Amino acid sequence: MQGVDAFALILGLVMLIVLVFAGIGKYARRLNGTDNNNNGGNTEAMNKTAA
């Protein structure tokens, strides 16, 4: 039972981090004004925030 709880906790943290990075990418794109389409500039914004 303890292993299942740890797995759920790690999975939840990963999901939360992914959501946070997706939100940061959207806000960075909005601030840069390069909102071409929904998937074009997203990776660029993600790379800027990660670097």
Q: What is the 3-state secondary structure (H, E, C) of the chain?
A: CHHHHHHHHHHHHHHHHHHHHHHHHHHHHHHHCCCCCCCCCHHHHHHHHHC
User: Is pLDDT of 49 > 70?
Assistant: no
Cα 47 vs. chain centroid, distance in angstroms? 11
Q: Whole-model pTM?
A: 0.46
The backbone region for 11, taken as left when phi is positive above 0, alpha when psi lies in -120 to 50, beta otherwise, is: alpha
Amino acid sitting at position 11: L
The pLDDT of 11-22, averaged and rounded, is 93
Distance CA 29, CA 42 (A): 7
| Local confidence band at 26 (pLDDT 50, 70, 90 cut-offs) | confident
